[in-house]
Amino acid sequence: MSFDPNRYRDDFPILSRCAASGAPLAFLDNAASTQRPQAVIDAVSDCYQRYYANVHRGIHTLSEESTAAYEQARSTTRQFINAASDCEIIFTAGTTAAINTVAHSWGNTNLAAGDVVLLTIAEHHANIVPWHQLAERSGCRVEFLPLGDDFTMNDQLVAEKLQSLNPKLFAFTAASNVIGTRFPVATWTRLAHDAGATVLIDAAQAAPHETVDVQQWDADFVAFSGHKICGPNGIGVLYGKQKWLEAMPPFLGGGGMIDRVTTTGFTPAELPEKFEAGTPPIAPAIGLAAAMRYLQAVGLDDIAQHEHVLCKAADTALREIPGVQIIGPTPDKKGGIVSFTIDGVHAHDVAQWLDTRGVAVRAGHHCAMPLHDSLGKTASTRASFYLYNTLDEVERFVAAVKEAREKFARGGRRRRRRNPSPAS
């Protein structure tokens, strides 16, 4: 392997601990949230210890230093995704908040009864529920593209649906958080624009694992979260083309997003403050910028290649275990995610058994119930890899799955929980 994850493991303090069972931790739950390197921890701590204050309107030293660091984080984010301008970068609470901002601000203004929002069946709930809510408000309807037998979607089918349904919006994930399938963002965006549709990309599972170039994608909106790219919780990014953001009314009202307020109304601030009501996520934004710098130093292309090696090893080994069914395409068509079921064994029992071996995975519907329903599954177990994972950890994971299958095949107790994990 040209990429050595052991070069970076010491950067992540949490990886040195053990699981509750006492076994060394193999953290394979990265699609839900990644761990933080010391550089990010230090950046957030430094902000709180040396210069934290509220931003933008303070005259004193701390406020000016905090403002400079916060706006530098915006510039770092612009560079990270190759946006054209800092004003196209809106800091939100996460991917969910970013998509809801578009659904309320753009959606309320541009969609009416009879209009169509087109999604794929592979979407996370964060890219489904806001559109259902918009449908309740506006009378528009939500349509879904189905998966093919190989867990991908044919470009020709996408083009045909765009032409026949004539959607006002095509919102889709760049990569599925369950089956791992990578979708051709630039191609589908072009097809959607040719059909007159606006495009929103859920990049929560793409931004941590590959170079994202929003100008090359040409999507109108792109959303992703900080906690999935080694950054803090409570921070996310909404990218929007300037022409759209300028035309949209502000979503949340309050301090920070105004130019002037009177007893009869208000005038909103210019971009990007227009969409950042209240005290913004100052320290999280600074930590997010540190995470982006860290990932760029490691190399996103190298990270993607490393994850492919791990995914291929895990996928190949699991397919050889009797009773194990992989949910997803072959490794060449997906990112570093392997989801699976074991015949007759509930996903939660599998995950709990793996935890006794120190292997942290996710079990449940992964906030993708429509996808699981379309596949005839109630839940699945998901292992997801990142830059600090090793082939040794993959081997431990596969061995633990074999043990789980053998244990429950011998008649071990199978427990079905009523409340599946709402994992992302």
Residues recognised as catalytic: 367
Please spell the DSSP secondary structure of 105-152, one letter per residue.
HHHHHH--TT-EEEEETT--GGGTHHHHHHHHHH--EEEEEPP-TTSS
CA neighbor of 336 nearest in space, from 315, 350, 320:
315
Among the residues of 139-194, which ranges form H helices? 155-165, 185-194
Q: What residues have CB less than 8 Å from 236, skipping those under 6 apart?
A: 91, 92, 93, 94, 95, 96, 97, 98, 223, 224, 225, 226
Cα separation, 388 vs 1, in Å, equals 13
Residues β-bridged to residue 169:
117, 198
E strands along 317-422, which residues?
A: 324-327, 337-342, 359-360, 362-364, 380-384
* Backbone φ and ψ of 362, nearest 5°: -115, 145
Q: Measuring CA to CA, which residue among 79, 84, 86, 127 is closest to residue 107? A: 127
Rounded to whole angstroms, the Cα distance separating 184 from 313 reads 24
CB 321 within 8 A of CB 402: yes
Residue whose token pair is 């599946």: 420
Judge whether 392 and 337 are in contact, CB under 8 Å: no
Q: What is the dihedral of CA 184, 188, 190, 194, to 10 degrees?
A: 170
Strand pairing category for 380-384 and 362-364? antiparallel
